[in-house]
Amino acid sequence: MAALQQISGELRYEMTRKLAEGGMGVVYEAVQLGAGNFRKVVAVKLIREEYSAIEEFQNNFIGEARLVADLIHTNIVQTYHLGKIGGQYYMVMEFVRGVNLEQFIEQHRRQRVPVPVDLAVFITSRVARGLAHAHTKCDREGRHLNIVHRDIGPKNVLIAQEGDVKLTDFGIAKALDLMYNEEGKVIAGKDEYLSPAQANYGITDARADLFPLGIVLTELLLGRNIFRSADRAQSRRNILNLPIPKFATLRPDIDAKLEAIIQRALERDRDKRFQSALEMLTELEMYIYGHGYGPTNEKLAVYLKNLFGIRDPVIPSPGTRPPT
């Protein structure tokens, strides 16, 4: 028999419910159907039809799909397929049944309990693992892609019911020639989660993702973002000028080692910040595992189940986020 050279066929998806909706796109939970009654739950992300004809949005959507397709890592939401129906592009992605970090933090606020320190550090370390993979990724020709996510924040971190922590939404990432980029002219990202370089219309590198990751860690520990203001411009000014507090004075069980990690992550001078996600990951893991046993996915899964008060942890999923 001749070697099989190509397989072609029809990919079919049944949309089951809307997960999220933004200004420029929508994300659905869907079922991928195949031969022999094959069924797989996925997330389908679409650009709104009115934006599909705009070349900038179209190219960024294609660029995001191409970029994430090669970012195969347990701490990054996977992309399976990019398709087009009529004039509308869609992206098929891993469906994550769980909650995003914003929902996780909000549930603690409702119950008036803090996130345990070890779990806060563990969750942050898993995001750092995903970033370390993305930041060091090369293309098939061996060129370094110089990926910068530029949108690190609680809504873009998912916790699966199994305890996996996953980074999602590379929609405004910077990556070599894959994504449309007006850096220096416009601000990309959410005001209260910007790096100082972003807030100041500067040029970013991978270290720009570590400052907002530090913000995420402090939000997990304090239940609030210290830089957030009702006024967006004030949030940006806070990123640039707000005095960084001693966090142990805001939460007494933050010890000196963790304080040092936070302070370094929030260094406004990027040359004094962690110089790579791997370096930050190493410090976070030394903190939680330096004395032996520490948090695991399984521990986080049980904690999540108890936090949301469910016998069988099937938590309504926010899925992946739509383009905004």
Which residues does the annotation mark as catalytic?
Answer: 151
Q: In this structure, how many other beta carbons lie within 10 angstroms of the beta carbon of residue 293?
A: 8
Q: Report residue 226 as tokens.
A: 């210290």
Q: Report residue 25 as tokens.
A: 């796109």
Cα–Cα dist 320/239, whole Å: 27
Give the residue among 161, 41, 98 at the shortest CA–CA distance from 316: 98
Cα angle: 292, vertex 296, 298; to 5 degrees: 140
* Residue length of the chain: 324
Instruction: Decide: 171 and 149 in contact? Cβ < 8 Å.
Output: no
- With a CB cutoff of 8 Å and minimum separation 6, the contacts of 298 are 163
φ and ψ at residue 87, rounded to 5 degrees: -105, 15
Cα–Cα dist 182/168, whole Å: 22
Q: In this structure, how many other beta carbons lie within 10 angstroms of the beta carbon of residue 265?
A: 23
Rg (CA), the chain: 20
Interhelix angle for 256-265 vs 210-222, to 10°? 140
Q: Report residue 248 as tokens.
A: 């142990």
